Amino acid sequence: MTAEQVLQLHSEGFNRALTQQDYDVLEGIYSELYMLVQPDGSVLNKQQILEDLREHGLRIHSIELEDAAVRVVGSVAILTVASKTVSSRNGKESRAHFRLVAVYGQEGGAIRLVHFQSTMIVEKEAT
């Protein structure tokens, strides 16, 4: 597993599948051990996030990444990146700017997303 492979999987695989609502691709990217820790501290597993995306009106419209850094340690890669996301739930649009940590692991012959955690970035006012 290389940093380039992880960036490509995250950008062209994971993010594309989110914005195109390709749940079959997401199901293949998420590890069975997947854990999402949301900014409010709540936790979802693979089945819960797929259900949220499929059945509860969550739609990701766009994802813009900035300042990506990937560290590969053995069979694990840690991606840290800032993200600007436009999403909606049941038609109500929201915009978020957060920094995320995504942990990818080598599982058999595939790279899978094992853990995802995000923290909101508070925009500082000009003084």
Q: What is the pLDDT of residue 58?
A: 82
Q: What mean pLDDT is predicted for residues 113-119?
A: 95
81 pLDDT tier (thresholds 50, 70, 90): very high
> How are strands ordered across the β-sheet holding 76-89?
43-45, 30-37, 110-120, 92-107, 76-89, 58-73
Q: What are phi and psi of 52, to 5 degrees?
A: -60, -45
- Helix count and strand count (H, E) for the chain: 4, 6
Tell me, what's the pLDDT at 57? 76
**Average pLDDT for residues 114-124, to the nearest whole number?**
88
Sketch the domain layout of the chain as residue ranges: 3-120
Reported as a single tens digit per residue, the pLDDT across 5-61 is: 999 999 999 999 999 999 999 999 999 999 999 888 899 999 999 998 888 778 889
Alpha helix positions (H), 30-102: 46-55
pLDDT of residue 126: 61
CATH code that applies to domain 3-120: 3.10.450.50
Average pLDDT of the chain, as a whole number: 91
pLDDT-derived band at 89, boundaries 50, 70, 90: confident
